[in-house]
Homo-oligomer: A and B are copies of this chain.
């Protein structure tokens, strides 16, 4: 039990730091007239993808919200003109959102706000050593919770 202390401490620190920093970033983005953080995350992933598009399933594995939430965010982005849905030639079930020129423009405008907010509220407090270390450590947690790797019923 006592041997778990540092593990539980890491857990609690992660919860607190993440929730506080996230709320601060969201506030900054709203105050600056940027897109909401949830929109930003989705558009960022689409923009980084090979053809500026991703199947919904792929998208879900890259962002921190549930499948149904992603559906609604993409619907909102589509209504805003930031995303268009394409069909997959090989699989009619799939829905493949792609970021539009307008969407890239919105992303471009929001990007400095996002980067500054993340730096101000989060990155600034981590030593340069810690940054890649944290990214790498958490990558292990993430893959463990990514469908396909797990022992699932």
Residues of chain A at the chain B interface (Cβ within 8 Å) = 1, 4, 6-22, 24, 63-65, 115, 118-119, 121-123, 125-128, 130-142, 144-145
Q: Secondary structure at chain A's binding surface: helix, strand, loop or mixed?
A: helix
A153 CB to closest chain B CB (Å) equals: 13
Please report the C-alpha to C-alpha distance between residue A1 and residue B137 in the assembled complex, in whole angstroms: 23
Interchain CB contact under 8 A, B119 and A10: no
This chain's copy number in the assembly: 2
| Interface pair A19/B64, CB less than 8 Å apart | yes
Q: Answer whether A132 and B9 are a contact pair too, CB < 8 Å, given A19-B64, A141-B20.
A: yes
B16, A132: Cβ atoms under 8 Å?
Answer: no
Instruction: Give Cα distance in the complex from A119 to B3, angstroms.
Output: 11
